[in-house]
């Protein structure tokens, strides 16, 4: 369990430092769409690929509370493991944001999320949909042993796709920990709207677990 904690801590630390960091150093902008937009989307996906093939054999490389919730609800982990993962993920994201702010010298710009045109309802819906798709892919591809070797790539490409679409709207969270770390340092609107980027991904993760269990899961998934 200790190894799993540190694996999830390291993975989420790297996600925030490198992927949110890419948004900062490339000047990611959705209006107009810039090269930084695409590079940021790629950075999130590439981090997942890198971490999946490094810490995946230790903790499964969740590095996302919404993913851990989906795994919990589909019977892939117990409640004790779930809370250990959650603590590690939030701690890792906070450390990653702290280091990013220190390196850039600007804690007001850490790749934090924001509401789409100030609209809470649309932002919630966007994040629920994005997270549901992302977690559903994870549950599906990791349930079949024949996909083990390519699972990291599939998940990484899916996160890239989710970001290419979602950055325009909310900056793309799909991960409560990823939103938490930058928001607590940036403060302001990022902090006041943080609840949206915690609640929506968790709802999306739970929805994905329900869809997977009722529609996709088969007795042969473990084969």
Task: Indicate which CATH number applies to the domain containing 169.
Answer: 1.20.1080.10
C-alpha distances (whole Å) from 148 to each of 46, 52, 57, 65, 121 are 17, 11, 11, 22, 37
Residue 220's pLDDT is: 61
Structural domain of 175: 2-216
| Inside any domain, residue 63 | yes
Question: What pLDDT is attached to residue 221?
Answer: 56
Residue at 46 is within a domain: yes
What does pLDDT average to over the chain?
94
> Is there a domain that residue 209 lies in?
yes
Tens digit of pLDDT for each residue in 39-56?
A: 999 999 999 999 999 999
pLDDT of residue 219: 60
pLDDT of amino acid 66: 98
Low-confidence residues in the chain, pLDDT < 70: 219-223
What pLDDT is recorded for position 146? 80
Could you give the C-alpha distances from 151 to 7, 127, 164, in angstroms and in order? 18, 23, 20
Domain assignment present for 223: no
Within a domain: residue 222? no
Distance CA 92, CA 110 (A): 15
**Count of the separate structural domains present in the chain:** 1
**132 in a structural domain:** yes
Residue 101 lies in a domain: yes
pLDDT at residue number 222:
47
* Alpha-carbon dihedral 200, 45, 163, 6, rounded to 10 degrees: 30
Residue 106 in domain: yes
């Amino acid at each position: 369990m200790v190894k799993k904690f540190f694996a999830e801590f390291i993975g989420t630390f790297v996600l925030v430092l490198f992927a949110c960091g890419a948004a900062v150093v490339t000047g990611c902008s959705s209006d107009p769409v810039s090269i930084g937009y695409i590079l940021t989307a790629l950075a999130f996906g590439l981090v997942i690929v890198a971490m999946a093939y490094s810490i995946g054999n230790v903790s499964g490389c969740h590095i996302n509370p919404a993913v851990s919730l989906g795994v919990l609800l589909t019977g892939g982990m117990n409640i004790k493991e779930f809370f250990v993962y959650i603590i590690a993920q939030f701690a890792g994201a906070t450390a990653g944001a702290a280091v990013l702010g220190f390196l850039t010298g600007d804690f007001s710009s850490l790749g934090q999320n924001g509401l789409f045109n100030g609209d809470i309802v649309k932002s919630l819906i966007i994040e629920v949909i994005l997270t549901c798709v992302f977690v559903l892919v994870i549950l599906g591809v990791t349930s079949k042993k024949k996909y083990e070797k390519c699972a990291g790539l599939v998940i990484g490409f899916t996160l890239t796709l989710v970001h290419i679409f979602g950055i325009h709207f909310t900056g793309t969270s799909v991960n409560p920990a990823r939103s938490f770390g930058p928001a607590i340092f940036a403060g302001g609107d990022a902090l006041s709207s943080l609840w949206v980027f915690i609640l929506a991904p968790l709802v999306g993760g739970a929805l994905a677990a329900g869809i997977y269990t009722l529609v996709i899961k088969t007795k042969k998934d473990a084969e």
